[in-house]
Amino acid sequence: MSAVTPGRCVKVRVPATSANLGPGFDTLGLALAEYDELTVEALAPGELDIEVEGVGADEVPTDESHLVISTIFYALQQLGFDKPGLRLRANNTIPHGRGLGSSGAAIVAGIVAAAGLVEDQQQVSDDTLLKLATTLEGHPDNVAPCLFGGLTIAWVTASGEPRSKKLMVDRGVSIVVLVPEETMSTSVARSLQPSQVPHADAIFNLSRAALLVAALSQSPELLFESTEDRLHQSYRAAAMPKTKELIDDLRAEGLAAVVSGAGPSVLVLCDDPADRLRAAEIAKSRTDTTWTAYLTAVDIQGATVEEVSKQTVSPSA
């Protein structure tokens, strides 16, 4: 086993993501320009110092079970490095439990931080980053866009290796995400999925998912038709009725609204930027919960990591 150099310090930025995008269950994902930012410094083994600001600051653990920390330890072990001490400073803006990839972002942050901490000794390939992140997340559709940015198509090879292809999104696509007060557990949402679906529904989703790639990359006028889905949203609707009702309202107005990831947020893909405000107004008019509108954009960079300094930084930095 090798050792991370004490004092090595990296700064990491990871985007929010929206997975599924309607028909692309566990396959399609989009990186969004909302970010968690972290600084991670290697300390002497045994030391641990965690401070979190922003979203979840009062809820996330500040011990080894913190998702970024446990991920760094896992990734370093997989890369053949001993467990170092760590100082973590996190500033979170990605909402938790809302279907915007916060856990995938924490996992990706830990993976790229680990890669950055060992970069002077070992280069880590994109395939390895994706594999480590997918192993922890369970499915690749959030971690792929979080790592690489843009629109990603993710798949798992016959031998179990996750892979992804990144595409750029057409400039004519604009985005609003509507985030409710309520949360939704991904594992609960996944438990509502049937193990088998009718063949006709599989064909329905295949056609829409293929069309959606074309709509997002070159033909935004096809967004509405291409965001139809029969594989997951209807099965989960009873667990998030307010989300279903808002999506029904938005789609009745011709807006391409879908559940973001496992919900309960709503992603609206627009081919006219003015439609974002229209969607936000429709959400505002609902009285069953408060929907916060994020008029956001596609992130094209994905996760970034840079070395800050090889000197020990101040604990208050």
Q: Select from 7-15, 65-73, 106-114, 185-193 the region that touches ligand HSE (CB under 6 A).
A: 185-193
- Smallest separation, CB 172 to ligand HSE (Å): 26
Provide the phi-psi class of 138: left if phi over 0, else alpha when psi is between -120 and 50, else beta: left
Query: How crowded is the C-beta side of 304, counted as CA atoms within 13 Å?
Result: 12
Question: Which pair of structure tokens corresponds to residue 161?
Answer: 């290796």
Q: Which of 83, 190, 251, 286 binds ligand HSE (CB under 6 A)?
A: 190
Q: Which of 36, 41, 141, 275 binds ligand HSE (CB under 6 A)?
A: 141
Q: Is 189 in the site for ligand HSE (CB under 6 A)?
A: yes
- Smallest separation, CB 30 to ligand HSE (Å): 12
Measured from the CB atom, the residue of 99 and 149 that comes closer to ligand HSE is 99
Measured from the CB atom, the residue of 172 and 235 that comes closer to ligand HSE is 235
Angle 301-94-63 from CA coordinates, rounded to 5°: 110
- Spell out where the chain has E strands: 9-20, 24-43, 48-54, 85-92, 151-156, 162-167, 174-179, 256-259, 266-270, 292-296, 304-309
Q: Which of 26, 34, 275, 299 binds ligand HSE (CB under 6 A)?
A: 26
Measured from the CB atom, the residue of 6 and 56 that comes closer to ligand HSE is 56
Measured from the CB atom, the residue of 9 and 177 that comes closer to ligand HSE is 177
Measured from the CB atom, the residue of 25 and 81 that comes closer to ligand HSE is 25
The DSSP symbol for 25 reads E
Q: Which of 89, 98, 139, 276 binds ligand HSE (CB under 6 A)?
A: 139
Helix (H) or strand (E) holding 310: none
Q: Which of 142, 164, 233, 296 binds ligand HSE (CB under 6 A)?
A: 142
Measured from the CB atom, the residue of 26 and 299 that comes closer to ligand HSE is 26
Identify which of 67, 59, 145 has the alpha carbon closest to the alpha carbon of residue 113: 67
Residues within window 194-253 making contact with ligand HSE, judged by CB under 6 A? 232
The Cα 41–Cα 49 span in angstroms is 10
Q: Is 19 in the site for ligand HSE (CB under 6 A)?
A: yes
The Cα 17–Cα 260 span in angstroms is 9
DSSP string, 81-118: B---EEEEEEEE-SPTTSSS-HHHHHHHHHHHHHHHHT
Annotated binding-site members for ATP: 95-105
The Cα 160–Cα 215 span in angstroms is 29
Residues of this chain that interact with ligand HSE (CB under 6 A) are 19-20, 25-26, 139, 141-142, 186, 189-190, 232, 261-262
